[in-house]
């Protein structure tokens, strides 16, 4: 082999090695918290919290995310925080059917509970956001929610000495970017998880006294295919339960005379068969956050049960697992209600509004 050929061979090898190295680089940015990652302990009834490799939670990022979650600094006119629509006093959801954002503007969908969102494969009723990190960009820029821009939020936080210090502790001494904001909020949200409910203590803790007989009967109504058939979509596993299959279904919500008021998943996929499909919500703690459904149209759990008994609003895409349940006796209906109430779990400490020091509070 002459030296020219050898040179080209080596060049080829170098190029191949570089391509291989580059292709293995993570596509997301390499911003990582500087602190020691902490373990988030899952309560009885829930699996370990999924953690993305590029955002391991640390004590500093969680505390920072908590502060940001409760801070109206994220909204254009300093009036609206995440907690305005996802309040700990209402099971981290909104007691109004649709929420009011900046300037009292309203959207068209009900604010879901943030409790256990950490377990959702995708976010929003129509699943249009792939992660909690990505989701946290939505409300800030939404004109009927916080009506702000990511750049303005970055400027405000960089101009605030208290935040500069807290961000430096969490992410290192460098200018604050929105990526740090969304990653911090997501890490806080991964601690807003709740289970160890009476149901969990009975089903997974094997404590027969944890629930009433009505709840045990209601469990059968919820799970049996020839009864309520609820667990078909609100899944219960052998070791834990997410109460969602993380899939989209049309159960006949937001439908009027066969017309779709909210097209749901169709807005993401543009497939006709997806009109009126919404993501199955996790119904843990459901008694804490009325009203219900993506349009906030049902004021209590009794209405929800009645809706399912009537098989929802009829439409072309109604799920094959939804059918009239008028054969359920009065007793079975009230047992089902008791079962839903037994899903209220423990809310972890340190997820409410943080107590701020005087310097932090001054602005």
Smallest distance from ligand HEC to CB 332, Å:
10
Interface with ligand HEC in residues 212-251 (CB under 6 A): 228-230, 232-234, 249, 251
Pick one of 62, 73, 283, 343: the residue that binds ligand HEC (CB under 6 A).
Answer: 283
Pick one of 46, 63, 64, 82: the residue that binds ligand HEC (CB under 6 A).
Answer: 82
Q: At a CB cut-off of 8 Å and minimum separation 6, what does 217 contact?
A: 331, 332, 335
Q: How far is CA 315 from the centre of its chain?
A: 28
Question: Quick check: 135 binds ligand HEC (CB under 6 A)?
Answer: yes
Smallest distance from ligand HEC to CB 305, Å:
6
Instruction: Indicate the burial class of 326 (C-beta count within 10 angstroms; 0-12, 13-18, 19 or more).
Output: exposed
Q: How many CB atoms lie within 10 A of CB 100?
A: 17
Task: Round to the nearest angstrom and report the end-to-end CA distance of the chain.
Answer: 73
Q: At a CB cut-off of 8 Å and minimum separation 6, what does 135 contact?
A: 123, 124, 129, 186
Question: Quick check: 288 binds ligand HEC (CB under 6 A)?
Answer: no
Pick one of 115, 153, 241, 304: the residue that binds ligand HEC (CB under 6 A).
Answer: 304
Q: How far apart are CA 272 and CA 268, in angstroms?
A: 11
Question: Quick check: 85 binds ligand HEC (CB under 6 A)?
Answer: yes
Question: Quick check: 97 binds ligand HEC (CB under 6 A)?
Answer: no
Cα–Cα distances in angstroms (integers) from residue 177 to residues 76, 91, 151, in the given order: 17, 30, 8
Q: Position of tokens 């009325």?
A: 290
Q: Which residue, 58 or 254, has its beta carbon nearer to ligand HEC? A: 254
- The count of residues interacting with ligand HEC (CB under 6 A) is 52
- Enumerate binding residues for ligand HEC (CB under 6 A): 69, 74, 80, 82, 84-86, 99, 101, 107, 109, 111-112, 114, 117, 120, 123-126, 132, 135-136, 139-140, 145-146, 185, 228-230, 232-234, 249, 251, 253, 278, 280-281, 283, 286, 292-294, 304-305, 308, 319, 321-322, 336
């Amino acid at each position: 082999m002459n030296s020219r050929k050898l040179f080209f061979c080596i060049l080829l090898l170098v190029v191949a090695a570089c391509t291989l190295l580059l292709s293995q680089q993570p596509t997301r940015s390499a911003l990582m918290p500087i602190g020691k990652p902490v373990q988030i302990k899952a309560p009885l009834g829930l699996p370990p919290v999924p953690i993305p490799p590029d955002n391991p939670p640390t004590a500093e990022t969680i505390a920072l995310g908590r502060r940001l979650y409760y801070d109206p600094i994220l909204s254009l006119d300093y009036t609206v925080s995440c907690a305005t629509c996802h309040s700990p006093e209402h099971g981290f959801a909104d007691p109004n059917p649709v929420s009011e954002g900046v300037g009292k503007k309203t959207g068209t969908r009900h604010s879901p509970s943030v409790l256990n969102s950490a377990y959702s494969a995708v976010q929003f009723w129509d699943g249009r956001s792939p992660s909690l990190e990505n989701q946290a960009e939505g409300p800030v820029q939404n004109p009927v929610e916080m009506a702000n821009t990511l750049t303005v939020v970055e400027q405000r936080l960089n101009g605030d000495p208290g935040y500069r210090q807290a961000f430096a502790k969490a992410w290192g001494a460098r200018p604050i970017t929105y990526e740090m904001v969304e990653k911090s909020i997501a890490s806080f949200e991964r601690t807003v998880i709740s289970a160890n409910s009476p149901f969990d203590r009975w089903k997974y803790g094997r404590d027969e006294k944890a629930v009433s007989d009505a709840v045990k009967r209601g469990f059968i109504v919820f799970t049996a295919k020839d009864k309520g058939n609820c667990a078909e979509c609100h899944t219960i596993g052998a070791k834990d339960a997410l109460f969602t299959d993380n899939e989209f279904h049309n159960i006949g919500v937001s439908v009027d005379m066969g017309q779709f008021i909210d097209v749901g998943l169709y807005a993401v996929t543009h497939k006709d068969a997806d009109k009126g499909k919404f993501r199955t919500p996790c119904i843990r703690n459901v008694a804490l956050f009325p009203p219900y459904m993506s349009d906030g149209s049902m004021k209590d759990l009794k209405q929800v049960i009645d809706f399912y008994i009537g098989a929802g609003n009829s439409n072309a895409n109604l799920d094959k697992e939804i059918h009239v349940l008028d054969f359920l006796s009065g007793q079975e209906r009230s047992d089902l209600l008791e079962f839903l109430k037994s899903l209220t779990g423990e809310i972890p400490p340190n997820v409410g509004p943080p107590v701020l020091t005087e310097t932090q509070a001054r602005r």
